């Protein structure tokens, strides 16, 4: 879960700045280097791959304030503040602007922290229309929560999140303030971890579980017609009553995976969980869970073969369970990093071996195919009752995936 220079500095900038395509077709083209100078050094921009589902996407950011808690990382902050984003199937609304991958002030702070020359990297956009009306024709929507890795950002899972939203889910992405690398609040205020990065992962898992419980309470209020945004900014039309809060799932990458199991242990409203190369921290390892859980790991970092706590957790799972290992993948083969790290690396001088250590040998297109297909199959099964052959056993279309029951 520790994010090295590669995992902090690079991935912090990656998703806001690199030009790519759905299959990373241009990954072999020699990118411009940070040393390029003069007018020929054109800026690069992220173009996220389009989601494959039938629905347009809307999104809205919410500023949530928990007045019952002091901030656990910065005790002088009297109330715990979070930024979350909702992603959902939307009605046609082309006049509304596309949401940026990351807000402007946060992206600017990233650029400065990493030392990228001004103007060389430009923020990209998502496929979500800001404030677009929710498509009420789909009825009440199953809800999925997303928690990112340590010292990361809720933006890191945008590709997977957009895919789920395009398939009829309402997805809530959470920035865990002072744990996340950078969080931008309304008005451009930016919060960073005062220590640079977190190292107390046990505390982080507990704090994140509390954050998730608070977010679920706020979603309940939202579903009842209250606006939980601290600034009372307008909400998209159609949200009231649109969330099916009896069908809630959660997933996360790295520490976000540990946060998923910890949150499930703390709150039974979460019916199914998925950890993407994530550990298990705290009492949930020994107690296990009685609800569906899928462990996805890689042959290297912190997988079942090298993580005793994860093996203990697995042995104590009493509900539906599945363990998948993605051959050729590495820790950052999940989320947007798998596209972005190889493309940004030359701009900041990362060696090829550093890139390979981070994203593995799996082709980018295969990693993207996995993260589009398997999370959706998991939540379709456990939140919608729709079976998928991908979860039944080895699938011919995914020879890199091994299965354990």
The model carries a pTM of 0.90
Q: What pLDDT, on a 0 to 100 scale, did the predictor assign at position 120?
A: 65
Answer whether residue 58 shows pLDDT above 90: yes
**Residue 223, number of CB atoms within 10 A of its CB:** 17
Sort 337 into a burial class: Cβ within 10 Å, 0-12 / 13-18 / 19+: buried
Q: Compute the distance between CA of residue 297 and CA of residue 300 in angstroms, rounded to an integer.
A: 8
Query: How much is the average pLDDT of 125-136?
Result: 97
Q: Hunting for tokens 């950078």 — which residue is that?
A: 182
Tens of pLDDT, residue by residue over 219-273, are 999 999 999 999 999 999 999 999 999 999 999 999 999 999 999 999 999 999 9
Q: Compute the distance between CA of residue 268 and CA of residue 339 in angstroms, rounded to an integer.
A: 35
Phi, psi (deg, nearest 5) at residue 376: -65, -40
Q: What pLDDT, on a 0 to 100 scale, did the predictor assign at position 115?
A: 66
If we measure between CA atoms, which residue out of 120, 113, 126 comes closest to residue 46?
126
Q: What pLDDT, on a 0 to 100 scale, did the predictor assign at position 266?
A: 98
Architecture of domain 5-21+42-404 in this structure? 3-Layer(aba) Sandwich (3.40)
Among 141-150, 292-301, 365-374, whose mean pLDDT is lowest?
292-301
Tens of pLDDT, residue by residue over 274-332, are 999 998 999 999 999 999 999 999 987 668 888 999 999 999 999 999 999 999 999 99
Ranges of H-type helices in 224-307: 255-266, 284-287
Ranges of H-type helices in 297-336: 308-315
Question: Taking the domains of the chain in order of start, what are their residue ranges?
Answer: 5-21+42-404
């Amino acid at each position: 879960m520790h994010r090295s220079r590669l995992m902090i500095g690079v991935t912090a900038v990656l998703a806001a700045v690199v030009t790519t395509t759905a299959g990373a077709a241009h990954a072999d083209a020699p990118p411009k280097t940070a040393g390029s100078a003069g007018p020929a050094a054109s800026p690069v921009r992220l173009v996220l791959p389009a989601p494959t589902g039938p629905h347009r996407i809307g999104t809205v950011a919410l500023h949530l304030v928990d007045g019952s808690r002091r901030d656990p990382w910065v005790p002088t902050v009297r109330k715990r503040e979070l930024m979350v984003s909702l992603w959902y199937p939307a009605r046609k609304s082309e006049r509304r602007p596309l949401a940026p991958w990351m807000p402007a002030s946060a992206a600017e702070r990233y650029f400065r922290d990493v030392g990228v020359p001004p103007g060389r990297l430009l923020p990209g956009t998502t496929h979500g229309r800001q404030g677009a009306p929710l498509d009420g024709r789909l009825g009440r929507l199953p809800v999925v929560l997303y928690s990112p890795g340590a010292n990361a950002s809720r933006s890191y899972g945008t590709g997977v999140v957009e895919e789920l939203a395009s398939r009829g889910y309402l997805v809530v992405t959470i920035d865990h303030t002072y744990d996340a690398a950078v969080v931008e609040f309304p008005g451009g205020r930016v919060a960073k971890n005062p220590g640079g990065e977190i190292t107390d992962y046990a505390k982080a898992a507990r704090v994140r579980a509390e954050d998730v419980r608070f977010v679920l309470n706020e979603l309940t209020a939202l579903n009842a017609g209250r606006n939980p945004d601290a600034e009372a900014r307008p909400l998209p039309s159609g949200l009231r009553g649109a969330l099916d809060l009896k069908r809630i799932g959660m997933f996360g990458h790295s520490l976000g995976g540990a946060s998923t199991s910890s949150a499930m242990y703390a709150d039974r409203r979460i019916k199914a969980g998925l950890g993407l190369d994530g550990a298990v921290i705290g009492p949930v390892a020994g107690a296990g869970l009685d609800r569906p859980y899928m462990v996805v790991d890689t042959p290297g970092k912190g997988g079942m073969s090298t993580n005793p706590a994860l093996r203990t957790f697995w042995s104590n799972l009493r509900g539906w369970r599945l363990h998948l290992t993605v051959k050729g993948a590495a820790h950052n083969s999940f989320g947007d990093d798998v596209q972005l790290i190889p493309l940004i690396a030359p701009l900041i001088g990362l060696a090829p071996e550093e890139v390979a250590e981070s994203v593995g040998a799996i082709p980018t297109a295969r990693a993207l195919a996995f993260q589009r297909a398997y999370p959706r199959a998991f939540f379709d099964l456990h939140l919608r009752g729709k079976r998928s052959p991908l979860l039944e056993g080895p699938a011919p279309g995914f020879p890199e995936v091994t299965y354990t029951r």
